[in-house]
Chains A and B, each alone.
Chain A
């Protein structure tokens, strides 16, 4: 998906289009649809799909995300240990030793959908979603990991919090991560968390 997305971004025919990535598909969208040659569009899409070099993985940024796994922020850690039958230390270790792949950003501004979660940590979404998940909460659900970038409702299991801001319109790099990047989590203490905030 990512290779295809990059191929489309490079093709000047699609410069007027926005591309939204999903796990298994891409949505291309344009406001100026009137007068589009639909036949040519289909031909062009087929051409890009056929010529795309799928095996190539471009060198992308690795983003290191500090996480405080302290019980004050790890709202669902106890429930995670109960469901996975692992200790808190094991959960934290498994979560922070993986390197994750950013499939796309969605759900809210700057929320990265990550794959690469350790098998032992796979568990379902919460039966009843939380009405309020604090901004910065680091969470897992199913095979996915993610970071809540703004305060929102949410049903994923929260195991820590990051002081890093994922989205800031004032910053030159508005969104900290994008599809194709890699993410790693590392543990920090509460004191370090407050210093970084």
Chain B
């Protein structure tokens, strides 16, 4: 069990997401950085869908109520265990009474805490993920607050000090173009040739990108249609929006395309005000990129098993 001594900003339980209820208007939710979550759960020998605690670029403090093995991940300035520096992305073993403090850097985005055995969170509609706008799931459908007690399962992994390497963000985001011609051709060209900044108006629902307007006054309205996380919308002001995990399942803006699944996690980790560029890929190329990612995860899994023999 862990006590939240100081809750981070927008701190909530997330897992792989809530599939199957989009037709009821329920967003998929889930961790913003799915790649990070997958690595943490692999390292701690959890099930891949074991819920994690997620929060955004802010200080957080946790207290181990009993002995526990955990992993802290994300871009940080430092992590202190009872005042001493420890590593992120590694197994940390805490005794009862140990305190863990996470201090963000100016480049931090989404930060994660995972425990071996996973957090015990009641499923709502098949998932432990929190959908804050609907107050569904996670810890009573809300953000975590100071003094909240988080239950965890039995430790599943060994005490070996092992970890993983992970670059979190990527400034090059691959996407698949929308097949129907909703967006003018020159808007596509402009989209691919310029750099965009992640604006401060970015959150779990969508990331707003600022740059030169991709439209010159043309106002294109479409009938409402289904959308998914990763959909790149082009609203009338010509500034693209990338829909993220809490985006509603329908939308009405024209679409440029779809960020490929693993790059959506990398985009999520781009700090506010950072620049990024988009590269169009085919479905086959997208599959190759996803396979690379799967392979890296598989190698980590192999390493974790091998460490057992050490």
Contact = CB atoms under 8 A, between A and B. Distances in A.
B50 interface: no
A137 B22 CA distance: 22
A110 B23 contact: no
Contact of B223 (A18, A23, A27, A38): A23
A109 B23 contact: no
B23 A105 contact: yes
A169 B126 CA distance: 11
Given A107-B25, A110-B24, A113-B224, 18 more contacts: A18-B23, A20-B227, A22-B223, A27-B225, A27-B226, A31-B19, A105-B24, A105-B25, A106-B249, A109-B26, A109-B134, A109-B136, A113-B250, A150-B133, A152-B133, A169-B136, A175-B24, A178-B24
B287 interface: yes
The size class of the interface chain B forms with chain A is 20 to 34
Interface in A99-157: 104-111, 113, 149-150, 152
B124 A20 contact: no
B223 A106 contact: no
B24 A26 contact: no
Contacts of B134: 108-109, 150, 167
Is chain A's interface secondary structure helix, strand, loop, or mixed overall? loop
B97 interface: no
B287 A34 contact: yes
* Contact residues on A (Cβ < 8 Å of other chain), bracket: 20 to 34
Interface string B192-207: 0000000000000000
A25 interface: yes
25 contacts: A18-B23, A20-B22, A20-B249, A22-B223, A22-B250, A23-B225, A24-B223, A25-B225, A25-B226, A27-B226, A27-B228, A29-B226, A34-B291, A105-B24, A106-B224, A106-B250, A107-B250, A108-B25, A109-B24, A109-B136, A150-B134, A152-B133, A167-B25, A169-B125, A169-B136
Nearest to A112: B25
Contact of A111 (B19, B25, B228): B25
B226 A22 contact: yes
B137 to A, nearest CB: 9
B162 interface: no
B20 interface: yes
